[in-house]
Amino acid sequence: MNKTVLKQILTSNQKDVENYQVVPRELPSDEFERRVFVGVRRAGKSFMLYQKMQQMLANGCGWDGILYLNFEDDRLVDFTANDFELILECHAEMYDQRPMLFLDEVQNIDGWEKFARRMADAKYRVWITGSNARMLSSEIMTTLGGRYLTTEVYPYSFREFLNVKAVAYDERALLATESRARVLRQCGEYLHWGGLPESVGLSVKRDYLTSTLQKIYLGDIVSRNKVSNANLLRLLLKKLAESVRQPVSYNRLANVLSSVSGKITMPTVSKYIEYAEDAWLLLRLRNISAAFADKESLCKYYFVDNGVLNLFLLDGDTALLENLTALTLFRKYGHDKDNERVFFYNDKVEVDFYIPEDKLAIQTSYSIGQTESTFDREVDALKKLPKVLPCNRRVVVTYDEADSINDEFGTIEVLPLWKWMLC
């Protein structure tokens, strides 16, 4: 890389950061100075870097103390790991102060982790973002040697969504008919169109969401992994979207896809799902009661944003409600490829979610009051679960119904989605 070009990029990036209108999100509250922010493309990771830099500028820090580079910049197409040192040299020639480093989408540069470790050893403050779950692989985290903390970044939570929309949701607002109705309307929008930050202010969101999906699908999955059969991958994602509430096996998926697109092997299905997980498009949920083999090959899969999932569905409100419940849990408890904090339970009875550390069991149902069979199916599973797993709290999340049901183990709460997300 040419130093003159790098200095031009660093300077133009400064103007971009200063001029960007950032909607504040919750930044890490501790003082740990080296972080890796990971998550799906366009979830808002870069916004969090902008927010931190703007806070530093507002508190009197100048650009001599900040170095920001976005590695998706087309001017950096020839950048390699050997060029990282040039960044520091350029900053040192422009300023006389050691900067805090902000490295955006750094996974695009092979070997980035070695530079990140060296910066940690040199006591630099560093914030890094990336869209690839492989950044959390045991290999890379071993290389980083515990020098960085990982922060998962998801699309807006419902609270953040309401804040962006300037909709009040405090106790007083939820008691008043008109303001409560506004919260309910926003819940419907959030359910169907998700919380990708740049989509929230758009009156028509489908085109933006389609563009985002295409970028993830073609860029982060097909191109990066050199997928030879892009159409097969598209069909796989569609099938997983249609099956979002059900455990699916590699073997079953291979048979279904083979019937419409020629012979597909189970290892190919497994590899394509892994690619989609690496891009943070899919989030896996395992069965807490299953044997090891089934834990890995018979899982449930959720999409990282309801708006993206909704592109695949027709009349999919029930699936969207469960997907949104899963995302709310992942946001609270965390999710990585070895997720051991949120599960489902399927052994004689089926319970959608179980969180061992809080002994929390959750069922989702768009409505439990429409038919007796729906009520019995959803509630009976929660009545039976305490006989096999400890349960401090049992909840049925519905779209807009509220109730409480008592049994020998205590109370089963029936909560509307909006209320549960704001708890």
pLDDT in tens, 381-400: 999 999 999 999 999 999 99
Cα–Cα distance for residue pair 364/268, rounded to 1 Å: 32
Given 152, 183, 207, the domain boundary residue is 152
Let me know if residue 204 belongs to a domain: yes
In terms of domains, do 134 and 242 share one?
Answer: no
At 374, is the pLDDT very low, low, confident or very high (cuts 50, 70, 90)?
A: confident
**Pairwise CA distance, residues 396 & 321, whole Å:** 12
Q: Mean of the pLDDT values across residues 312-340?
A: 91
Give mean pLDDT, residues 364-385: 88
What's the mean pLDDT in 15-43?
90
Residue of higher predicted confidence among 143 and 305: 305
Of 330, 200, 225, nearest in space to 276 by CA: 225
What pLDDT was estimated at residue 373?
80
The pLDDT of residue 364 is above 90: yes
- CA 219 to CA 214: how far, in whole Å? 8
Do 137 and 201 share a structural domain?
no
pLDDT in tens, 161-185: 999 999 999 999 999 999 999 999 9
pLDDT of 246 > 90? The answer is yes
Do 141 and 238 belong to one domain? Answer: no
The mean pLDDT of 240-254, rounded to a whole number, is 95
> Same domain, yes or no, for 146 and 21?
yes
pLDDT greater than 80 at residue 418: yes
Residue 396 lies in a domain: yes
Confidence of residue 132 (pLDDT cuts 50, 70, 90): confident
> What pLDDT digit, counting tens, does each position of 153-162 carry?
999 999 999 9
Q: Among residues 152, 179, 211, which one ends one of the domains? A: 152
Residue 239 has pLDDT above 90, yes or no: yes
77 located within any domain = yes
Average pLDDT estimate for 228-235: 92
The answer to whether residue 189 sits within a structural domain is: no
In this structure, the answer to whether residues 257 and 395 fall within a common structural domain is yes
Name the domain count of the chain: 2
Looking at every residue in the chain, the average pLDDT score rounds to 93
Measured CA to CA, the distance from residue 138 to residue 146 in angstroms comes to 11
264 and 129 both lie in a single domain: no
Question: Averaged over 359-381, what is the pLDDT?
Answer: 89
The stretch 338-348 carries a mean pLDDT of 87
pLDDT band with cut points at 50, 70 and 90 for residue 371: confident
Chain centroid to Cα 70, Å, comes to: 20
pLDDT, tens digit, 9 for 90 and up, residues 136-150: 776 677 888 889 998
Check residue 206 and give its pLDDT: 97
Specify whether 126 is located in the same domain as 226. no
For residue 415, is pLDDT > 90? Answer: yes
φ/ψ bin of 303: left (φ > 0), alpha (ψ from -120 to 50), beta (otherwise): beta
Structure tokens, 329:
């849990």
Residue-number span of the structural domain to which 100 is assigned = 3-152
Beta bridge partners of residue 145, listed in sequence order: none
179 in a domain, yes or no? Answer: no
pLDDT in tens, 278-302: 999 999 999 999 887 778 889 999 9
Q: What is the 3-state secondary structure of the chain?
A: CCHHHHHHHHHHHHHHHHHCCCCCCCCCCCCCCEEEEECCCCCCHHHHHHHHHHHHHHCCCCHHHEEEEECCCHHHCCCCHHHHHHHHHHHHHHCCCCCEEEEECHHHCCCHHHHHHHHHHCCCCEEEEECCHHHHCHHHHHHHCCCCEEEECCCCCHHHHHHHCCCCCCHHHHHCHHHHHHHHHHHHHHHHHCCCHHHCCCCCCHHHHHHHHHHHHHHHHHHHHCCCCHHHHHHHHHHHHHCCCCCEEHHHHHHHHHHHHCCCCHHHHHHHHHHHHHCCCEEEEEECCCCHHHHHHEEEEEECCHHHHHCCCCCCHHHHHHHHHHHHHHHHHCCCCCCCCCEEEEECEEEEEEEHHHCEEEEECCCCCCCHHHHHHHHHHHHHHHHCCCCCEEEEEECCCCEEEEECCEEEEEEEHHHHHHC
| Domain shared by 147 and 238, yes or no | no
In a domain, 384, yes or no: yes
In a domain? residue 408: yes
Residue 420: both structure tokens together: 């549960």
Q: Which of 152, 175, 208 is the last residue of a domain?
A: 152
Q: Is 401 exposed, middle or buried (0-12, 13-18, 19+ CB in 10 A)?
A: middle
Taking only the tens place, the pLDDT of each residue in 106-115 is 999 999 999 9
- CB contact set of 220 (below 8 Å; sequence gap of 6+): 41, 131, 132, 278, 279, 281
Query: Same domain for 372 and 230?
Result: yes
CA–CA separation, 84 and 110 (whole Å):
11
In a domain, 305, yes or no: yes
pLDDT at 337: 67
Q: pTM of this prediction?
A: 0.93
Instruction: Please give the pLDDT value at position 110.
Output: 92
Q: What is the per-residue pLDDT for 71?
A: 95
Question: Phi and psi of 415, rounded to 5°?
Answer: -125, 140
CATH number at residue 128: 3.40.50.300
Residues 202 and 128 in one domain: no
Same domain for 236 and 101: no
- The reply to whether 258 and 397 lie within a common domain is yes
